[in-house]
Structure 1
Amino acid sequence: MTIPRDARITLDPEEIPKRWYNLAADLPEPVKPPLNPVTKEVAKPEDFAPIFCKPIIQQEGSMERFIYIPEEVREALISLNRPAPLQRAYRLEKYLKTPAKIYFKREDQSPLGSHKGNTALAQAYYNAESGVHTLTTETGAGQWGTALAMVSNMFDIDTTVFMVKGSYNQKPLRKTLMHLYGAEVYASPSEYTEFGKKILKEHPDTSGSLGIAISEACEIAVNNENTCYALGSVLNHVMLHQTVIGLETMEQMKKAEITPDYMIACVGGGSNFAGFTFPMMAEKIRGRSETEIIAVEPKAAPSLTEGEFRYDYGDTAGLTPLVMMYTLGSEFIPKSIHAGGLRYHGMSPLVSAAYDQNLLTATAYDQPETFEAGCTFAKTEGIVAAPESCHAIKAAIDKALECKSTGEEKTIVFCLSGHGLVDLYGYDQYIAGTLQSSSVDV
C-alpha cells in the first residue's frame, strides 16, 4: 500500500517557529489604542502594570512584525507535541461524497488537550522572569485553566483559576485536571472576591460568564503583591503567541503543495483563530493569497455576526482597559453552552479590526448542529473534538457539501483546536436528544 504524501504532514522539532508573527504590523488600518478604564484617555503602558508583567505589556503594544521566541519557551513547546501534524480527512471526504479536499491542524494532540498551552508557556515564562510568584486567570470550558495550571509548574508559579460556573458544573473532570496540576479553582461568580459577591447578590442563579471571571481574576491580581493576571485569549500578546499554529501550517502546506481555498477556525475571544489564520492573512494583505478565512462562532455569543464595533471593557466589572472590538456588551451573559471557551461577550481587537477591514468572513451556528458535525467527525475520523472545535468542523462540512453540489474540487483547511474527551456529557445529551438550542436574540 502506498500512503498518500498528504495523509499526515509533519515537521521536525527543529522546525518549530523561531519567531511569532504580529498582525498589528501589517493591518491596512491600525488597531485603535486601548483606553484607560477610568480616564477614558489613551492607555499608557503603566496603566497595564497592576495586572501584567513588563514583558507582556511590551508585547501587547508592539508593532514589530516578528518577535523572537525565547529558546526556553521554544524547547518547552516540544513537550506540548509541537510541531503539530496537518492531517487529511480522507474518511470524512468519502462519507460526504465530496470532491473537496479537507485537512485539519491537530492541536488536540497536546497533552493539555488544546492549543492553549502555546501562550500559557510564554506567559508563565515571562512572569517567572519578572519575579511573579502567583498567576490568576479565568477559564470557560477549562482548556485555558488546565494549560496555565500545568505550565506554571515548569516555572514554580502558583495558579488560581476562576472557572465560569456553567462550565464548572458541566465539566467536573476539567476541575480534576486543574487540581491535579496544583491549581486552586473557584466557580465564578464566587464568594472569593468582592465583585463575585456583588454578582451573586444581584443574580444568585447566574451561570456566570468569561467577563465576570476575568473581573474576579483581575481583582486578585490588583490587590496582591507579586501576583499577575494571565489571559487566555482576546489581547494582542495572546494572538501573537498562538501564531506558532499558523506558521507551522503554512510550512506544512508549502511542503505538500497545498493551496487552501478556505481556512476555518472557531472563534470566541480569538486565540486559536488568530494563531491559525494570521500568517495567511499577511499573505492576503500582500496580495499573494485569495484564501477565504472564516471565523465560526456560537449563536449563544455572536459578537462578530451580531455585535457592534466599538470600545468596550474586556471584563464585566470595568477593571480592564477599554478596547476597540466587536462586542455584545460587557454585561451580556450568554446562555450556558458546552462550548464554554466561546462564551465571551467580545472579540479580540486584532480579529475585530481584520473583520472590519474585510480580511475574513464570519458565520454562527446553533449548538445542536455543531454537535451533529462533531458526531460525524468522530464516526469517520475517530476523533472526539472539543465542542468549540465542532463549530469549525460544521463550517468545513458545509463548504465540502457546497463542493459536492457544484462539483468544485476546493481545498478546505480547518483548525482542530482541542479534543473533547472530557466533554462527553454534551455528546451524551446530543445522542439522547436532550441538547438545548443556544440561539439568542441580541
Structure 2
Amino acid sequence: MAIPKDARIGLNPEDIPKKWYNMAADLPNLKPMINPVTKEPVKAEEFKAIFCDPIIKQELSKERYIDIPEEVRDALISLNRPSPLQRAYRLEKYLKTPAKIYFKREDMSPLGSHKGNTALAQAYYNAESGIHTLTTETGAGQWGTALAMVSNLFDIKSTIFMVKGSYMAKPLRKTIINTYGATVYASPSEYTEFGRKVLKEHPETSGSLGIAISEACEMAAKDEHTCYALGSVMNHVMLHQTVIGEEALQQFAIGEIEPDYMIACVGGGSNFAGFTFPFLREKMQGKHKDCEIIAVEPKAAPSLTRGEFKYDYGDTAGLTPMMMMYTLGSQYIPPAIHAGGLRYHGMSPLVSAAFDQHRISAVSYDQTETFAAGITFARTEGIIPAPESCHAVKCAIDKALECKEKNEAKTIVFNLSGHGLLDLYGYEQALEGTLPKSGME
C-alpha cells in the first residue's frame, strides 16, 4: 500500500527557520511592563540584575523578525529540528470521525519536549555575555532538563528550582538534571530568603511556579556573573519558540493542509505561542479566516477562562515587573496536578493580549479528562503524551467527535509539546482509577 503523502511531513535541516517571529510587532495596544514602585514602564537597565543585554533587547523589541544566530540554528538540529508533522490516522479510525487530525512532534527532541528551542538561545546569549551560571524554575521538569542539557554546549552552570510537588512525584527528573550536570533543588527551598520564608509560613506546601521563579530571581540578582533564564511567559521566550510554527507553515504548504483548528496546551504560553503565533500572523493578514486557534489549560490553573486581565507580578515574592496578563493572582497556589508545567497563576502578556482581543479562544479540562485522552492517544498512535500535552490531545479529540456528530470533514492540528515517559505515575493513577480531580475550589 502506498504511504499517503500527508502521513508524515518532514523538512530538511536547511529548512530550519532563519528568523524568529515577534508577535509584539503586530498585536495592537500592548501594555508595557511596569515598575511596581514607580508605576512607570520598565526601562532596559532595570532588567540588568537578572538578564544579559541581548535577552533584554529581545524582550523589549518590536522588530517583526529577529535573526537566529548560526550557532543556535546549527545546534537546533541536535534537538531534532525540524520536527515532523504527522497524521493521526489510527486515532481518526478509532473515533470514526470524518475529521483529519495532525500533530506537530515536539516529543521527538532528545530532551522530550519543545523547551530546548529557547534554552539553546538563552544559553547562547548568556555565554556570549560572559555569564557563567544560570538559575531557573521548572514545573514538571521539562524546562529544567532542557536548560541543564544545553548549558553544557556553552560551558555554563545551571541551578534549577523545581516545584516541590513535581520534585517529589517525578524523582527521575532529578536524576536526568543531575546527569546533565546541573544542580536541582525542591522549591520552596532553604537556599533563598524567600524559600525559607514560605517554608516557615507554609511548611506543607507543594510549591508553585511563582515561588520557584522568586527563588531563581533572588539567587541571580545576588551575583553579577549569574543570570536568570525562564521557560515561558516573557516575550523573548515566545519569540524563540516560533521555530515550531514557522516549520508548521512550511509543512502545511507541502501537505496542502488548511487547518480549521489549531490547538495547543497553555500554562505560561510558550508552546502555544510558538506553535500558533506564525499562523496567527497570517490570520491577521486575512488568511485562514475560518480557523479557530484554541488554548487549552488545566482547571487547576485556568488563568484565561477564569482569571482577570490586569497588571500582576510574574512571581509570588513580587520580584518581577508587573505585567498586563490574565492572572488568578500571584499569591494563588494551584492544586497539585501531574501537568506541573501548566501550574502557573498567570499567562504570557502576548497570549493574554491575543485572547483579550478575541483572536484566540480558550477551554479548560480536569486532569481526569486529559489523562483519559492521553491513554486513548497512546493506544492508537503509540505515543505517550506528557500530561501537559494531554490537554491538547483532549481538545483535538473533542473537536473530532464534534465533526463526527455534524458529519463535517474538518482539519484539526495540535502541538504534541512533549512525551510523558517520565510522568508515568499519573498514568498509573489514571489506569487504576485513583487519579484525583483537580479543579479550582
Superposition TM-score tier, normalisation by shorter sequence: over 0.9
The equivalent residue for 2:148 is 149
2:425 is aligned with what amino acid?
Y
> Aligned equivalents of 1:288 and 1:376: distance in 2?
33
2:303 aligned residue? 303
Structure 1: distance between partners of 2:338 and 2:173: 13
Residue matched to 2:102:
103
Structure 2 match to 1:253: 252
Structure-1 separation of matches of 2:375 and 2:224: 47
Does the aligned pair in 1 maintain the 2:49–2:224 contact within 8 Å? Answer: no
Question: Can you list the C-alpha shifts for 1:310-347, whole angstroms capped at 9, x where unaligned?
Answer: 00000000000000000000000000000000000000
Alignment partner of 1:67: what SS? Answer: strand
Secondary structure at the aligned position of 1:350 is classed as helix
Aligned-pair distance for 1:225? 2.2
2:284 is matched with 285
Q: Is the aligned partner of 1:431 residue 2:398?
A: no
**Matched residue count:** 440
Which residue is equivalent to 1:211? 210
**2:11 maps to what in 1?**
11
C-alpha RMSD of the superposition: 0.5
Query: What amino acid is aligned across from residue 236 of structure 1 in structure 2?
Result: N
C-alpha distance in 2 between matches for 1:24 and 1:250: 19
Distance 1:438 1:270 in 2: 20
Q: Is the 8 A contact 2:172 2:422 kept in 1?
A: yes
1:169-248 correspondence to structure 2 within 5 Å: 169-248=168-247
* Partners of 1:163 and 1:40 in 2: CA distance: 31
Is contact 1:284-1:359 (8 Å) kept?
no
Amino acid at match of 1:24: A
How many angstroms apart in 2 are the aligned matches of 1:320 and 1:253? 39
**What SS does the aligned partner of 1:82 have?**
coil
Say which is worse superposed, 280-289 or 337-346, in terms of deviation.
Answer: 280-289
1:27-46 to 2 correspondences below 5 Å = 27=27, 29-46=28-45
Q: 2:334 corresponds to which residue?
A: 334
CA distance in 2, matches of 1:256, 1:7: 9
CA deviation map 1:120-176 (0-9, x unaligned): 000000000000000000000000000000000000000000000000000001111
Distance in 1, Cα, partners of 2:39 & 2:142: 33
- Aligned partners of 1:35, 1:223: CA distance in 2, in Å? 22
1:289 Cα deviation from its structure 2 partner: 1.5
| Range with bigger deviation, 33-42 or 62-71 | 33-42
Quick check: 1:35–1:41 contact (8 Å CA) kept in 2? yes
Deviations 1:241-297 (A, max 9, x none): 000000000100011100000000000000000000000101111111121100000
Who is 2:370 aligned against? Answer: 370
Partner of 2:167: 168
Residue 40 of structure 1: CA displacement? Answer: 2.2
The amino acid of 1:351's aligned partner reads V
User: 1:48 corresponds to which residue?
Assistant: 47
Contact 2:299 2:365 in 1 (8 A): yes
Letter aligned with residue 436 of structure 1 = P
Letter in 2 for 1:364: S
Give the unaligned 5+ runs of structure 1.
none
Aligned partner of 2:137 in structure 1 is 138
Residue 49 of structure 1 aligns to which amino acid in structure 2? K
AA aligned opposite 2:314: G
Return the offset for 1:434: 0.5
Distance (whole Å) between structure 1 residues aligned to residue 66 and residue 10 of structure 2: 24
Q: Which runs of 5+ in 2 are unaligned?
A: none
- 1:390 correspondence with 2:390: yes
CA contact (8 A) 1:299 1:366 kept: yes
Name the SS of the counterpart of 1:17 in structure 2. coil
User: 2:349 aligns to what?
Assistant: 349
- TM score, norm. by length of structure 2: 0.99
Partner AA of 1:338 in structure 2: H
Higher mean C-alpha displacement, 111-120 vs 40-49: 40-49
Compute the displacement of 1:37 (Å). 3.0
Question: Contact 1:24/1:30 (CA < 8 Å) preserved in 2?
Answer: no
Q: Residue type matched to 1:150 in 2?
A: M
Cα distance in 1 for residues equivalent to 2:140 and 2:304: 20
Q: Give the Cα separation in 1 of the matches to 2:39 and 2:106.
A: 38
> In 2, are the aligned partners of 1:37 and 1:319 still within 8 Å (CA)?
no
Partner amino acid, structure 2, of 1:404: K
Secondary structure at 2:294 match in 1:
strand
In the superposition, the TM-score normalised over structure 1's length comes to 0.99
SS of the residue 1:241 aligns to:
helix
In 2, the alpha carbon distance for the partners of 1:38 and 1:45 equals: 16
SS at match of 2:347: coil
| Percent identical residues | 76
Letter in 2 for 1:362: A
